Structure 1
Amino acid sequence: MSLLSFATALGAALVLVTQSLLARQLGPATYGLFASSLATVSMIAPFAGFGLSQLRLRVYGAEGWAANRWIRPSVRLSLVTGVMACTAVIAWALLTSGDTRRVLLLLLPVVPALLAVELVSCKLRLEEHYHKLAGWQLLIPAGRLLVALLAVGAATSSATPVAFGYGLVALAVAILAFPHFRAMVRGDIELHGHGPRPATMPELHVPGASALWSQAWPYGVAAALYPIFFQVSTVMLKYLGGDVHAGRLGISMAVMSAIYLIPTTIYQKFLLSKLHRWATHDRPRFWMVYRRGIMAMLALGLAIGALLFFVMPRLVPIAFGSEYLGVVPILMVLALCPPIRFLSTAVGSVLLTGTHMYYRVLMMALAAVATIALDFLLIPTHYEMGAAYAIVGGELVLMIATWIGARKFGSEFR
């Protein structure tokens, strides 16, 4: 866990340094165009994975080695949804024009790269190879930092070569993931926590497309709704306010994205496979970790929110330049988000089973709808500040819905 924590902190630092370099080099308008285009692709990309990694973690936690029967059908579905996500990005790009269209098309490889990272991360979590997972976690941030350094060295003020570089990094990551992908398709997984691989496996029913879909769709919809909830404000601000406003919010969301790596790493990349296993086989340990996690995450979120509030007014001009002083009041509002997000992540970790995923879909849909509604209401008059308040409102809706769900469904594990 300490290695993952270090990798998370390093990854967050790489993200912030990259955004600082690009913001200074490209200027507010061009950076806003690039940031909103990347947000658009990042909003669509999770459709490719369709939440299937969460399903794999659940079935392996419950079935152990027998869950190998789910691998081939789930990989086939991932390929189909990956093609659909790429098609959606292309269609969106064709509805735009000029630099926006070019940047969106150049960022297209981000979709298969994120799918590849998700597949590999799932395999490494099942194997509990956290040192390798830490390395994978750093590949894309490190590659993007290299692109930013090259952009500064070339003194470019265009978003097009930066998008091209991001696309090349994405392709390289997808290629590096191929050996892991091939091993996963073969069922060659060093599964941890379920004893040695049986010498002979009994004949097990391989789920068909309809059975897989019935199990997978809640995970997929929830996975697709989250980036809409998180990225939609930046995208809407581009079209309702313009690239400069989107650039200011884009920097703020880059900071928040780096912060949100903390609960993501702790719960999604370290604890999730263990929680699935403990919920089935060791419920006293499950509840001990759950209760301690809530207290620890609330304390950590409050500390980070306070740090954000007091440090960013001095740090923003140094890191991003005086052109981006408008980012400071946005971050003052968004400083409310870390304790809310950290708490909702910890509280929601009890919502593990397929039945719970239906509720996760509902609460993510409510949060996304609330954010979009507040964006439409506030952005036309308050621009990036309106978007910031909309984001806080969406986080509050998500936390309340998560708390209600945990109260309702948590008793199933007692």
Structure 2
Amino acid sequence: MIAKIAANTLFLSFSQISARLLGFIYFIFLARYLGVATFGIYNFTLAFIYNFIPVADFGLERLVLRDISREPEKISFYLARLLPLRFLLSLIAYFGALLLGIFLGQSLQQIFYLGIFGLFIFPYSFTYLLSSFLNAREKMEYMSFAVIAGQLLIFILGVIFVLLKLPLSVIFLTGFLGQSVVTLVFLFKAGSWGLPLGWIIDKKFISKSLSQSWAFAFLLILAVIYLRISLILVGLLKGDYYTGLYGSAFKFIEAIILVPQSLALALFPLSARLFLEDKEKLKRVYRKGLGILLLFSLPFALFLIIGSKLIIGLTYGQSYMAAAPVLAILSVSLILFFVNVLPGNIIQNSPQFKRFLPWALVNFLITLILCLFLIPRFSIIGAAWAVVGGEFAGLIINNLFVWKILKK
């Protein structure tokens, strides 16, 4: 069992690190070619659309992980009924993003950018729904392939489009094109991977699934918006230039936290089983996981704190040097990000899961209030401290709830 967890963590960590490395190189490439203000538009558009990915998922991936890891014989039944539901949710997510952009008074050009980049939601949703079934069977290598292949294609297409001096709207299209190729691979290989495709509109099943998954969705939507709320509010309150600066620093944090997220995902099927079978063993796994994540976080955080000026200067250039103190502050939050990923495994497998939702909302509101208070006064420095404050609040809230669950 330990060997399987280690292998899955290795697969996911390798794929996430490889994809993030490619994405980061691409990010730096765009930052240098686009300039700070245009790079700010790029950052804002990505952050805005990424907030709607969990709307397209609506907790279904976690539902699949939980149910199929316990009853793998139900793959065919679930998959045929979840495909049409996932497509409908993707439509809602796509048009929801456009409507929110209009409601917030974004320019027609910005709405156009949102529409172009948002197309990637459709192939992405299909691919990762199939991946969730494979993850539930602890076959993480397929998701690893999807992560690396998708990012590699986006990287290649993006570099070509930029060097050809094509407009920003075409650069945004790389997400849709890259993910579509990966989706086609999954579509043609699904049968041989033990994923029989089907299309059954089962209203009773849909109603039951949504009634079970809405809590996962609520938590995931909050978590995704929470992660990017500081960047979005910098864009809304301070404009494109400061969004470009803040986004350049925040990208380091966003890239690195996928390492602990990979461990948490690899442990999720085991946590689901142990919660029912052996809660004492689950306590030990949780404690060890927290310790490992804390130790893993320290070298990353210290490196970024000590070398923030050098790192920003070497990666982005002198025009981004104002982001160096932001990176140093955000590095403190990195330690908290690491240890805060694991409580979700316990909470989401607990019958008390829905009772946690108000506390998750409180954590989000604390971060939102900190952002609204600090960003107008201290600009991007204030945004960074708001993230630290939100993560510290999350550390307290999450673990108080987890230990309450594990004591029962």
Task: State TM-score, norm by structure 2.
Answer: 0.88
Alpha-carbon spacing, 1:57–1:3, altered in 2? closer, same or farther (3 Å): closer
- Pick the aligned partner of 1:290 from 259, 280, 286: 286
Whether the 8 Å contact between 1:49 and 1:115 is mirrored in structure 2 is yes
Encode CA deviations 1:141-166: one digit per residue, 9 max, x unaligned: 2122213322442245x522211223
Alpha-carbon spacing, 1:115–1:356, altered in 2? closer, same or farther (3 Å): farther
SS of aligned partner of 1:355: coil
Superposed, 1:122-201 pairs within 5 Å as 122-155=132-165, 158-179=167-188, 186=196
CA distance in 2, matches of 1:58, 1:227: 20
Whether the 8 Å contact between 2:75 and 2:195 is mirrored in structure 1 is no
Determine the structure 1 residue equivalent to 2:111: 101
SS of aligned partner of 1:308: helix
Determine the structure 1 residue equivalent to 2:3: none
Moved more, 123-132 or 244-253: 123-132
SS of aligned partner of 1:326: helix
- 1:343 and 2:352 are equivalent in the alignment: no
Count of residues in correspondence between the two structures: 394
Moved more, 248-257 or 207-216: 207-216
CA distance in 2, matches of 1:171, 1:147: 13
Deviation of 1:354 (Å): 5.3
- Pick the aligned partner of 1:331 from 318, 321, 327: 327
Identical counterparts, % of pairs: 21
SS of aligned partner of 2:118: coil
Determine the structure 1 residue equivalent to 2:399: 403
Determine the structure 2 residue equivalent to 1:194: none
Superposed, 1:55-134 pairs within 5 Å as 55-66=63-74, 69-94=77-102, 95-134=105-144
Moved more, 45-54 or 388-397: 388-397
CA distance in 2, matches of 1:48, 1:344: 24
CA distance in 1, matches of 2:78, 2:91: 20
Whether the 8 Å contact between 1:72 and 1:185 is mirrored in structure 2 is no
Deviation of 1:360 (Å): 4.2
Determine the structure 2 residue equivalent to 1:198: none
Whether the 8 Å contact between 2:308 and 2:325 is mirrored in structure 1 is no
What amino acid is aligned across from residue 146 of structure 2 in structure 1?
W
- 1:389 and 2:385 are equivalent in the alignment: yes
- 1:352 and 2:348 are equivalent in the alignment: yes
* Runs of at least 5 residues in structure 2 that lack an aligned partner in the other structure: 1-6
SS of aligned partner of 1:287: helix
Whether the 8 Å contact between 2:283 and 2:406 is mirrored in structure 1 is no
Determine the structure 2 residue equivalent to 1:193: none
Encode CA deviations 1:263-310: one digit per residue, 9 max, x unaligned: 111111x22112212333354543332221111111111222112112
- Pick the aligned partner of 2:223 from 222, 226, 229: 226
Alpha-carbon spacing, 1:80–1:240, altered in 2? closer, same or farther (3 Å): same
- 1:258 and 2:225 are equivalent in the alignment: no
What amino acid is aligned across from residue 113 of structure 2 in structure 1?
V
Moved more, 228-237 or 118-127: 118-127
SS of aligned partner of 2:208: helix
Whether the 8 Å contact between 1:249 and 1:330 is mirrored in structure 2 is yes
Determine the structure 1 residue equivalent to 2:359: 363
Encode CA deviations 1:308-362: one digit per residue, 9 max, x unaligned: 1123321211111111111111111101112111112234432232534314433
SS of aligned partner of 2:271: helix
Moved more, 16-25 or 123-132: 123-132
Deviation of 1:72 (Å): 3.8
Task: State TM-score, norm by structure 1.
Answer: 0.87
CA distance in 1, matches of 2:77, 2:11: 32
What amino acid is aligned across from residue 105 of structure 1 in structure 2?
G
Determine the structure 1 residue equivalent to 2:4: none
Alpha-carbon spacing, 1:18–1:332, altered in 2? closer, same or farther (3 Å): same
* Runs of at least 5 residues in structure 1 that lack an aligned partner in the other structure: 189-204
Deviation of 1:407 (Å): 1.6
What amino acid is aligned across from residue 17 of structure 2 in structure 1?
A
CA distance in 2, matches of 1:46, 1:3: 23
Moved more, 345-354 or 231-240: 345-354
Moved more, 359-368 or 298-307: 359-368
Deviation of 1:64 (Å): 4.1
- Pick the aligned partner of 2:270 from 271, 274, 285: 274
Alpha-carbon spacing, 1:381–1:46, altered in 2? closer, same or farther (3 Å): same
SS of aligned partner of 2:348: coil
Deviation of 1:377 (Å): 1.0
What amino acid is aligned across from residue 26 of structure 1 in structure 2?
L
Encode CA deviations 1:215-236: one digit per residue, 9 max, x unaligned: 1110111111111101122112
Whether the 8 Å contact between 2:52 and 2:93 is mirrored in structure 1 is yes
